[in-house]
């Protein structure tokens, strides 16, 4: 009974925070001609409802791809179609072809916000609850604290309920995949992750750990026995899931190839906005887009991303445990964010999800990263008029998570898993690494507060109008790079000294 009460309180607080943020502005509010992501999601409902499926991804007189053309996999389109049917029942003007472009009203805003909340309640939140209670160690109160911190992560709330997107669907499906593998339901986990990939192509950030974990498990069980049957069942599940999602586009090769071109727009170049990754930071010193052709940029980013992901993936393949799997998810997604092609600032949510799953094991490091990931999107939040919810959710998460998880009290070298640093650098003087990490955390928070205040109250120099966004992205990049190095070292060190995982497969 106590567990259910704690869970209900956590979910209620999470929903309250979400709906409070949804009362604020959104991407492109009142800003014609293109508006923003809110209009993009509404427009996809308009297109999928009024046009035949064969025209969804093609440029036609009724579907101008330059105006928020569909560029996500088929499952996103089907979700848009489902929302469109409901929208038409309420008010046909919301999805009327051409005439509904740029439609804004309080009633429509309520409907759009409600669609995100329903998806969250059906997919992401249940998966977070089950993970916290079945795959986290500790007392019921400790598990409830972990759940509350996951549900109050400000980055996801601000993007989905403020800026406006449906990341709760793809991340929720990926979390169901993690849950399935953690509980030993490998086929169901593979199915859930296949659906996540078919909802957003950026879930490729997590694909290699899923593949290596399952393949390593099959090899461990024996490819001439149980392992072979598991491999066949997983492969069949993935193929059937993809086939069903892509079925309307498989009758014509040109249809399928057009969908692929839309979801992988390589012609856009290496990057667009100021993102806290390697390429945007390096571009301050070396104008990569000027020096290298688009093809060269693509090959370079692919090669470096693969090199950054390989050590973690090989380690997971050799030691397919659930602990290694969770670490590999962090390392893979961070490597993709820092080095891959066409990264957007919102893609940091793909790294934030697996870090959320380590809140119980490495609370201080996880909280630090999650706070930084939210800060890295500050220019976007300011552009959308979300300063107040950004400050409120960030402060609430930081203070509550540190208090509930006792992050600053339980951060010895052993608990932070810093022993590997002494083994890697035996010649260095013996330092109190735990104390250093604490002070770096305090300094990092102070810098984030300072840059936030400066971005709001100060005007940038005329010669450098983008100074503050550059400083934000550059500082966040350094934090992310340090996190990637840290988690790689943790993954190559021994298993956790305390039982930080409930399932080891």
pLDDT tens-place string over residues 230-252? 999 999 999 999 999 999 999 88
C-alpha distance from residue 309 to each of 131, 216, 302, 315 (Å)? 25, 16, 11, 10
Long-range contacts: 137-142, Cβ < 8 Å, 24+? 137/360, 137/498, 137/499, 137/500, 137/501, 137/502, 138/360, 140/2, 140/3, 140/6, 141/6, 142/360
Judge contact between 203 and 174, C-beta under 8 A. yes
Has residue 99 been placed in a domain?
A: no
Q: Which of 313, 410, 357, 35 is nearest to 177 (CA)?
A: 357
Q: Which of 448, 449, 366 is nearest to 136 (CA)?
A: 366
Mean pLDDT of the chain: 93
Rounded CA-CA distance 275/338 in Å is 9
Sequence-distant (≥ 6) Cβ neighbours of residue 251 within 8 angstroms: none
Ramachandran assignment for 236, one of left (phi > 0), alpha (psi -120 to 50 degrees), beta (any other): alpha
Confidence of residue 265 (pLDDT cuts 50, 70, 90): confident
Rounded CA-CA distance 25/417 in Å is 41
Q: Which of 164, 206, 178, 150 is nearest to 43 (CA)?
A: 164
Rounded CA-CA distance 95/81 in Å is 10
Q: Which residues span the domain enclosing 348?
A: 2-29+104-492
Has residue 504 been placed in a domain?
A: no
Give the pLDDT confidence score for residue 503 in this predicted structure.
Answer: 38
Sequence-distant (≥ 6) Cβ neighbours of residue 315 within 8 angstroms: 324, 328, 491, 492
Give the pLDDT confidence score for residue 242 in this predicted structure.
Answer: 97
Judge contact between 135 and 183, C-beta under 8 A. yes
Q: Compute the half-sphere exposure of residue 22: CA atoms within 13 Å on the CB side of its CA.
A: 20
Confidence of residue 505 (pLDDT cuts 50, 70, 90): very low
Q: Which residue has the tokens 């929302």?
A: 83
Judge contact between 22 and 117, C-beta under 8 A. yes
Q: What b/e string do you get for 254-272 counting C-beta neighbours within 10 Å, with b at 16 or more?
A: ebeebbeebbeeeeeebbe
Confidence of residue 501 (pLDDT cuts 50, 70, 90): very low
Rounded CA-CA distance 11/354 in Å is 20
Rounded CA-CA distance 25/164 in Å is 9
Rounded CA-CA distance 192/482 in Å is 31
pLDDT digits (tens, 9 = 90+) for 416-434: 888 777 666 666 566 778 8
Has residue 89 been placed in a domain?
A: no
Rounded CA-CA distance 1/428 in Å is 53
Confidence of residue 1 (pLDDT cuts 50, 70, 90): low
pLDDT digits (tens, 9 = 90+) for 327-346: 999 999 999 999 999 899 99
Backbone angles phi, psi at 460, to 5 degrees: -70, 155
- What's the sign of the alpha-carbon dihedral 81, 87, 92, 98? negative
pLDDT digits (tens, 9 = 90+) for 443-456: 999 999 999 999 99
Has residue 356 been placed in a domain?
A: yes
Give the chain's domain count. 1
pLDDT digits (tens, 9 = 90+) for 61-110: 999 999 999 999 999 999 999 999 999 999 999 999 999 999 999 999 99
Percentage of the residues of the chain whose pLDDT score is greater than 90: 81
Has residue 479 been placed in a domain?
A: yes
Has residue 75 been placed in a domain?
A: no
DSSP string, 66-96: TTT---S-HHHHHHHHHHHHHHHHH-GGGG-
Average pLDDT value for residue range 381-408: 96
Has residue 39 been placed in a domain?
A: no
Flag whether the pTM goes above 0.75. Answer: yes
Has residue 367 been placed in a domain?
A: yes
Rounded CA-CA distance 401/365 in Å is 12
Confidence of residue 396 (pLDDT cuts 50, 70, 90): very high
pLDDT above 60 for 500: no
Judge contact between 42 and 94, C-beta under 8 A. yes
Judge contact between 67 and 57, C-beta under 8 A. no
- Calculate the CA dihedral of residues 295, 296, 297, 298 and round it to 10 degrees: 50
């Amino acid at each position: 009974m106590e567990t259910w009460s704690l869970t209900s309180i956590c979910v209620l607080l999470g929903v309250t925070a979400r709906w409070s943020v949804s009362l604020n502005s959104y991407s492109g509010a009142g800003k014609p001609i293109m508006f923003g992501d809110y209009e993009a999601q509404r427009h996809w409902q308009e297109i999928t409802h009024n046009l035949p499926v064969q025209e969804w991804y093609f440029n036609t007189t009724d579907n101008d791809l330059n105006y928020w053309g569909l560029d996500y996999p088929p499952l996103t389109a089907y979700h848009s179609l489902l929302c469109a049917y409901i929208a038409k029942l309420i008010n046909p003007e919301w999805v009327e072809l051409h005439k509904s472009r740029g439609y804004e009203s309080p009633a429509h805003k309520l409907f759009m916000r409600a669609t995100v909340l329903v998806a969250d309640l059906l997919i992401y939140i249940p998966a977070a609850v089950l993970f916290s209670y079945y795959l986290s160690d500790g007392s019921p109160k400790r598990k409830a604290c972990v759940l509350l911190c996951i549900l109050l992560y400000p980055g996801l709330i601000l993007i989905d309920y403020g800026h406006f997107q449906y990341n709760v669907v793809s991340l929720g499906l990926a979390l169901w995949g993690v849950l399935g593998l953690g509980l030993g339901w490998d086929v169901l986990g593979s199915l859930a992750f296949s659906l996540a990939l078919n909802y957003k192509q950026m879930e490729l950030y997590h694909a290699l750990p899923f593949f290596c974990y399952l393949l390593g498990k099959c090899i461990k069980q024996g490819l001439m026995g149980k392992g072979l049957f598991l491999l066949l069942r997983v492969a069949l599940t993935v193929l059937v899931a993809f086939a069903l999602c892509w079925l309307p586009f498989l009758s014509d090769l040109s249809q399928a190839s057009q969908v692929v071109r839309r979801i992988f727009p390589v012609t856009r170049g290496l990057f667009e906005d100021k993102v806290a990754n390697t390429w945007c930071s390096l571009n301050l010193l070396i104008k990569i887009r000027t020096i290298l052709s688009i093809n060269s940029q693509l090959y370079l980013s692919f090669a470096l991303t693969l090199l950054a992901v390989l050590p973690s993936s090989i380690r997971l393949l050799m030691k397919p445990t659930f602990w290694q799997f969770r670490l590999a998810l962090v390392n893979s997604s961070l490597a993709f964010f820092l080095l891959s092609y066409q990264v957007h600032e919102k893609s940091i949510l793909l790294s934030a999800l697996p870090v959320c799953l380590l809140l119980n094991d490495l609370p201080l490091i996880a909280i630090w990263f999650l706070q930084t990931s939210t800060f890295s999107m500050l220019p976007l939040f300011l552009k959308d008029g979300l300063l107040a919810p950004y400050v409120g959710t960030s402060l609430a998460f930081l203070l509550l998570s540190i208090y509930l998880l006792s992050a600053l009290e339980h951060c010895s070298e052993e608990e932070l898993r810093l022993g590997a640093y002494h083994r890697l650098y035996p010649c260095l003087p013996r330092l109190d690494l735990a104390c250093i990490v604490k002070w770096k955390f305090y300094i990092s928070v102070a810098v984030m507060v300072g840059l936030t205040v400066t971005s709001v109250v100060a005007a940038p120099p005329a010669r450098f109008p983008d100074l503050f966004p550059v400083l934000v992205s550059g500082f966040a990049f350094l934090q992310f790079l340090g996190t990637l190095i840290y988690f790689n070292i943790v993954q190559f060190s021994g298993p956790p000294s305390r039982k930080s995982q409930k399932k080891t497969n």
